[in-house]
Amino acid sequence: MVRLLPHEIVFGLFLVITTVRLLVVAGPAHEETMVYIAAVVVNALAIWAPQRWPEPWAWRLQFVFYIIALNGLFLHMRWAIPLIHPGKYDDLLMGWDQALFGGSPNLWFAPMATPLLTEVMSIAYAAFIPGLMLTLVQYAMCDLRTARAFYGGLFTLYGIGYLGYTLLPAVGPYVAMAHQFDAPLDGYWITDLLTTLYPVGTNGCDAFPSLHVAASAYILLFDLKHRRRWFCACLVPCLVLWLSTVYLRYHYGVDVVAGFALAALGLWVAVEVWRRDSALRVGIRAMARMAE
């Protein structure tokens, strides 16, 4: 009997649910629907391969698929989500900020803005993607038990996060609240570069939840157990990154809260996968001793 891992279930559900929604609103022949149909098929193959060939190479091949899918589907949502959800939920998220914080955290940061502080925040925010890619490669090359636990938690939180993008698409405060800020944020050349590239790299619906927060918090705490030196090196940059998501007006306060909740869920999944693999290894060793 095939026993699926949490990330295989969750990311698979995201793909299936989004595919069904696209089939309903756009039909099977629409190019955006066809992209998701293809993703569902390849996802099924990526799940099947380690079952058919329970070898490290098959698992690492699955990890590669999910890494490619995370990046490709993130950008593709720019065209897919408007088909299934034309509106934006920024007003709802602003309301949640009001209910949770008694106001807008984005507006609280506005009087504190200086070019130097904005530049520091921009550097921290811009460093997320290169740091994430480096971490994905590093864990793909480590021992299989650690890799399965790491990717099990990470891809679970990304599956839920992407589903959140499709259910509550929002562009973020830098657009939806632009009229409420007295002035745009000024910095130096990293700030200017980020301001230019961000509209190109975003999909226009990636505010809730904040996966910058979710993924970085998850990786940081996973590193606390498995790579203590990386945890120490990345602790302060991550703290600045979390503040930058609101300071730079890319996320609402509630997006950050949801991001931390996702990180906690991902860590729970990682621990469960680790324990499951540990129990399996103990069982295999016991059977081997009995056979001797």
Q: Which pLDDT score is estimated for 193? A: 95
**Three-state DSSP class for 202?**
coil
Q: Which pLDDT score is estimated for 125? A: 97
Q: Which pLDDT score is estimated for 36? A: 97
For residues 255 and 213, the answer to whether their CB atoms sit within 8 Å is yes
Q: Which pLDDT score is estimated for 1? A: 52
For residues 118 and 244, the answer to whether their CB atoms sit within 8 Å is no
**Three-state DSSP class for 194?**
helix
CA-CA distances (angstroms) from residue 292 to 146, 279, 283, 286, 287? 29, 20, 15, 10, 9
Cβ neighbors of 252 (< 8 A, separation 6 or more) are 93, 94, 96, 97, 104, 105, 106, 170, 172, 173, 207, 208, 246
CA-CA distances (angstroms) from residue 38 to 27, 84, 118, 167? 14, 18, 41, 21
Q: Which pLDDT score is estimated for 282? A: 37
Boundaries of every domain in the chain: 89-291
Burial class (CB in 10 A: 0-12, 13-18, 19+), 25: middle
Q: Report the half-sphere exposure of 82 (CA within 13 A, side-chain side).
A: 7
pLDDT tens sequence for the chain (292 residues): 568 899 999 999 999 999 999 999 999 999 999 999 999 999 999 999 999 998 999 999 999 999 999 999 999 999 999 999 889 999 999 999 999 999 999 999 999 999 999 999 999 999 999 999 999 999 998 999 999 999 999 999 999 999 999 999 999 999 999 999 998 999 999 999 999 999 888 999 999 999 999 999 999 999 999 999 999 999 999 999 999 999 999 999 999 999 999 999 999 999 999 998 865 543 334 333 433 4
- Tokens 């293809």 sit on residue: 38
The Cα–Cα gap between 79 and 278 comes to: 42
Provide the 10 A C-beta neighbour count for residue 68.
Answer: 12
Q: Which pLDDT score is estimated for 2? A: 62
Q: Which pLDDT score is estimated for 276? A: 86
Residues 142-170: pLDDT tens digits?
Answer: 999 999 999 999 999 999 999 999 999 99
Q: Which pLDDT score is estimated for 277? A: 80
Q: Which pLDDT score is estimated for 279? A: 55
Q: Which pLDDT score is estimated for 6? A: 92
pTM: 0.92
Residues 126-145: pLDDT tens digits?
Answer: 999 999 999 999 999 899 99
The sign of the torsion formed by the CA atoms of 141, 142, 143, 147 equals: negative
